Amino acid sequence: MSRIQSTFEALRARKRKALIPFITAGDPDLDTTLALMHQLVKSGADVIELGVPFSDPMADGPTIQRSSERALQTKTTSRGVLEVVARFRATDTTTPVVLMGYGNPIEAMGYAVFAETCAKAGVDGVLVVDYPPEEAEELIALLKARGIDSIFLLAPNSEDQRIADVGRIASGYIYYVSLKGVTGAAHLDLGEVQAMLPRIRAHSNLPIGVGFGIRDADTARRVSAVADAVVVGSRIIQEIEESAPGDVVRRVGALVKGMRDAIDA
């Protein structure tokens, strides 16, 4: 059983919902990323999504785009991201870590090398934003052979065939993008989310995480009432961006704890 599966099963047994924060590795630097990862866990994160910086993050709004730019300016590489996961694993062997990024850096490394390096570092899942299921089978097979889950996105305009394809091939959890647009938008329609989740569950028994547009504790609470997990990215990156260097970890921890408390309430 993967760390992701065991985490969701433990949460289900306790009637709790998962909180999945996203940060971009290397923003503002990899040492701070490591400190943030540990703080996220202390503040109530159940799974960590770790963004692999990329020069053209097409699904991301300006906030996360700027975080990728900052990380790339400090020479953060895919191997550097995997090294920080290995450093995290030295003291945390239980919290699942999911890499979220784009196909180009993976292809530059090579599928087999990427999968093997992920396994050695302690990665639990991989979400490649720009790989639809029909283009990901080779990578999925390499990851699966090493016990690593492949996570896919679905959106409000996903057709039944696309939902079925994702339901057939995904593992770990499914990430439902709650709006048509990029990360960080502020017009989440909870009614639309409620209508879409049964369509996804008709094709998959995997937990469903909902993200994009979750800006505060109240929205996190309302989303958790209908989803299995709440994914928060841009709001956390904004906090990193606006914090003084010595105060980043504390402020992000306080933000995430507020969301954790709201979800549990």
- The answer for residues whose C-beta is within 8 angstroms of residue 151's C-beta and 6 or more apart is 98, 125, 126, 127, 170, 171, 172, 173, 174, 175
Catalytic residue from among 27, 60, 165, 228 = 60
Catalytic residue among 9, 27, 31, 49: 49
Tokens 């105060």: give the residue: 247
- In the residue annotation, 192 being an active-site residue is answered as no
Give the pLDDT band (50/70/90) at residue 55: confident
The superfamily (CATH) of domain 3-264 is Aldolase class I (3.20.20.70)
* 228 noted as active-site residue: no
Q: For helices 190-201 and 160-169, what crossing angle results, to 10°? A: 60
User: What percent of the chain stands above pLDDT 90?
Assistant: 88
Instruction: Express each pLDDT in 8-41 by its tens digit.
Output: 999 999 999 999 999 999 999 999 999 999 999 9
Structure tokens at 63: 């906030």
- CB burial readout 34-68, b (16+ within 10 A) else e: bebbbbbbebbbbbbbbbbbbeebebbbebbbbbb
- Tens of pLDDT along 161-215? 999 999 999 999 999 998 765 444 556 778 889 999 999 999 999 999 999 889 8
Residue 2: enclosing H or E segment and its boundaries?
none
Which residues lie below 8 Å from residue 135, measured CB to CB, with a gap of 6+? none
Res. 153: pLDDT tops 70: yes
Q: Where are the domains of the chain?
A: 3-264
User: Rounded mean pLDDT of the chain?
Assistant: 94
